Structure 1
Amino acid sequence: MFVIFGASGKVGRTSAAELRRAGQPVRAVVRNAAQGEPLARIGCEIVLGDLTDGASVSRALDGAHSVQMLCPVPRGEAAPAEAMRRMIDTAAQVLRVYPDLHVVALSDYGAELDANTGITMLFHHLEARFKEAVRHLTLLRSSEHMQNWARVVPVALATGVLPSLHHPVDRKFPMVSAHDVGVVASQVLLDRNTGNTARVVSVESNQRYSPNDVAEALSEAINRDVIAQALPRDQWAPALLRAGLATNHAQLITDLYDATNAGRIDVEAGIGERRFGATTLREAIAALVPALGTH
């Protein structure tokens, strides 16, 4: 049995669908029954679970041989870093009880760094805790998801200006479609790591893109000119707070983009395996526009 935590998310849904297409049994772990309905339609067993509740994690793992673990940064928490660390620690404590389980843990580019990377520091904590707790471990590190641009596409549609925390706007950086991360996750789940050393797999698109490229793809999708503009550093926190993030969450993102713009966040050179997604930026951005209900 393959168990997918976060199965209702973009990556998890794709992983579950790919495994079902391969004829594999899948248990989809979701927070509520409504999230499970589309997964049940493709033949997944649905289990309600919560990574902050060790007992529910244990129930979801009953009878499993492989599991995909997603520990997301919680939105709406006053102290999101502490909340995510508790989630990671709870998961690691439960996983320790299942020594034969193959665990594919979703991580981030830059997770090898141990200081001053904002959100990515939480994935450093995840990798460290899971390495201690899990014998058969695959760390799937992905670059920034193309779908993250959905947060600012409405601003671009309203103003013709795509605000970017990536500076400068002509510098290319690694991105990947969440769909492609899910495809690679399903592949490494099927290709079970039976060794006692953590396997590191990094995934990004088969080419790199800049914010200017994102603006060009959006212009093409809506048949209207959009330009990318670097949002001044002193406007980052106010913009993130207006978007509904708590102060501490906004600081995590600010620290992340400071590290990214300094060139510190990238694939770890010479470590593990590299995979490349086939989805182009134009395809991903074109899919965002109707999904956001925009024209």
Structure 2
Amino acid sequence: MFVIFGASGHVGQASATALRRAGHQVRAVVRDAAQTEALAAIGCEIALADLNDAESVARAIDGAQAVQWLCPVPRAHDDPAAAMRHIIDAGVDALRMTTPPRLLALSDYGAEHPDGTGITTLFHYLETQLLRNVASSLILLRAAEHMQNWARVLPVALGRGVLPSLHDPLDKLFPTVAAEDVGKLAAQLLLDEAPTRATPRVVSIEGKERVSALDVARTLAELSGRPVIAQRVPRDEWSAVLRGAGLGERHAQLIVDLYDAHNAGRIDVEANVSERRFGATTLRQVLEALLSRVGGMEAAAR
């Protein structure tokens, strides 16, 4: 039995689908019963779990030969860092109660840094807690920024013709990856018959080509047939822009700190440590899929 946490998200659903297609039993762990239809349709066993409750998480893990674990970012929480630490601590307690032979934790580029990286610091905490407390054969899958994150600014880009960016300068190339490629690689790693290791296996994944904010704007313009230009958000306006997008003050500060680290070149693959992998999905393919969804929603609203 393969247990996939966050199975209703882009990454988790890709992992669950790949494992089911390979003929394996999958227990898809979600927090909301409304998220289960697509997973049940591909033959997953469904488990509901409260990620803040170690016993609930342990029940979801029970009997697993391998677990794919994700700590979600609690967007609506007043203190997302404290909320993430609580989820991580509960998960670690559960993994000590019911230790699977193999564990893959989804992490981020930059997770090797103990501080100064905003929300990525929480993934350093996750990795550290697992290393200290869990005896499973451990895989740390560090992913670059997800291409799907640009969905958040598509309405502005298409409506105003301006793609706001915290990446500075606009022509700076940065690593990014399609979420489905992360999920597919995670499934491959869970199935890999590599021997048990005394140290964690650290694997990084990004797309084949690094991109810039200018590349994103240009691709959106080509796909949509509308003029779109990239625009740097001034540093002193970041927090206000993020709060205007619905983030609380503490969450906004975590993102500000993250992009300060990004622009300083600290959010990248850890040299000489990670096994490097590259996803096949291009930025153009991801943006095309996102635009088709936006078009569908616009048509439905008319």
Report the TM-score range of the alignment, normalised by the length of the smaller protein. Answer: over 0.9
Q: Residues 67 and 100 of structure 2 are in contact (CA less than 8 Å); yes or no, is this contact kept in structure 1?
A: no
Q: Is the aligned partner of 1:124 residue 2:113?
A: no
What residue identity is the alignment partner of 1:16?
A: A
Q: List alignment gaps of at least 5 residues for structure 1.
A: none
Q: Is the 2:141–2:204 Cα contact (8 Å) retained in structure 1?
A: yes
- CA deviations 1:166-195 (Å, max 9, x no partner) are 001111110000010001010111115522
Contact 2:58–2:98 (8 Å) recurs in 1: no
Q: Which amino acid letter does the alignment assign opposite residue 278 of structure 1? A: A
User: Which of 225, 228, 233 is the aligned partner of 1:226?
Assistant: 228
The question of whether the paired residues in 2 share the 8 Å contact of 1:104 and 1:139 is answered with yes
In the alignment, does 2:190 pair up with 1:186? no
Q: Which range is displaced more, 284-293 or 207-216? A: 284-293
C-alpha separation in 2, matches of 1:86 and 1:261 = 29
**1:205-261 CA distances to partner (integer Å, 9 max, x unpaired)?**
011000001001111111112110111111111111111111000000000000000
- What aligned pairs does 1:111-260 form with structure 2 within 5 A after superposition? 111-135=111-135, 136-192=137-193, 194-260=196-262
> In 2, are the aligned partners of 1:4 and 1:67 still within 8 Å (CA)?
yes
Q: Which residue of 2 aligns with 1:51?
A: 51
**1:4 partner amino acid:** I
State the secondary structure of the residue aligned to 1:153: helix
- In structure 1, what residue type is equivalent to 2:258? L
Distance 1:9 1:86, change over 3 A: same
Residue of structure 1 in register with 2:107 after alignment: 107
User: Does structure 2 retain, via aligned residues, the 8 Å contact 1:217–1:286?
Assistant: no
1:85 maps to 2:85:
yes
SS in structure 1 at match of 2:240: helix
2:282 equivalent in structure 1: 280
After superposing the two structures, state which structure 1 stretch, 168-177 or 30-39, moved more: 30-39
Distance 1:291 1:68 in 2: 28
CA contact (8 A) 2:62 2:98 kept: no
- Separation of aligned partners in 2, 1:169 and 1:144: 16
Shift of 1:272: 2.5
Structure 2: runs of 5 or more not aligned: none
**In the alignment, which residue of structure 1 is the partner of 2:5?**
5
Name the residue aligned to 1:34.
34
Q: Is the 8 A contact 1:103 1:134 kept in 2?
A: no
How big is the shift at 1:97?
2.6
CA contact (8 A) 2:54 2:90 kept: yes
> Amino acid of the residue matched to residue 288 of structure 2?
A
Contact 1:102 1:192 survives alignment (8 Å): no
Deviation of 1:196 (Å): 2.6
Matches of 1:148 and 1:99 in 2, distance apart? 33
Which amino acid counterpart does residue 279 of structure 2 have in structure 1? G
Q: Tell me the secondary structure at the aligned position of residue 126 of structure 1.
A: helix
Q: Distance in 1 between matches of 2:236 and 2:81?
A: 22
For residues 32 and 86 of structure 2, the distance between their equivalents in structure 1, rounded to whole angstroms, comes to 21
> What is the root-mean-square deviation in Å for CA atoms of aligned residues?
1.1
**In 1, distance between residues paired with 2:298 and 2:229?**
18
Question: Cα distance, 1:93 vs. partner?
Answer: 1.3
The equivalent position to 2:266 in structure 1, one of 260, 264, 267, is 264
Distance 1:169 1:39 in 2: 39
| Higher mean C-alpha deviation, range 192-201 or range 83-92 | 192-201
Q: Deviations over 1:105-157 (max 9, x none)?
A: 00000000011100110000000001112221100000000000111111011
Per mean C-alpha deviation after superposition, the further-off stretch among 120-129 and 217-226 is: 217-226
- Seen in structure 2, the aligned counterparts of structure 1 residues 277 and 294 have a Cα distance that, compared at 3 Å, is farther
CA–CA distance in structure 1, aligned partners of residues 99 and 46 of structure 2: 24
Deviating more after overlay: 89-98 vs 268-277: 89-98
* Aligned partner of residue 110 in structure 2, secondary structure: coil
Cα distance in 2 between the residues matched to 1:211 and 1:27 = 38
The sequence identity of aligned pairs, in percent, is 60
Distance, in Å, in 1 between the alignment partners of 2:57 and 2:153 is: 34
Aligned mates of 2:54, 2:254 — CA distance in 1: 26
Quick one: structure 1 residues 68 and 192, their matched pair in 2 at CA, closer, same or farther if it must change by over 3 Å?
farther
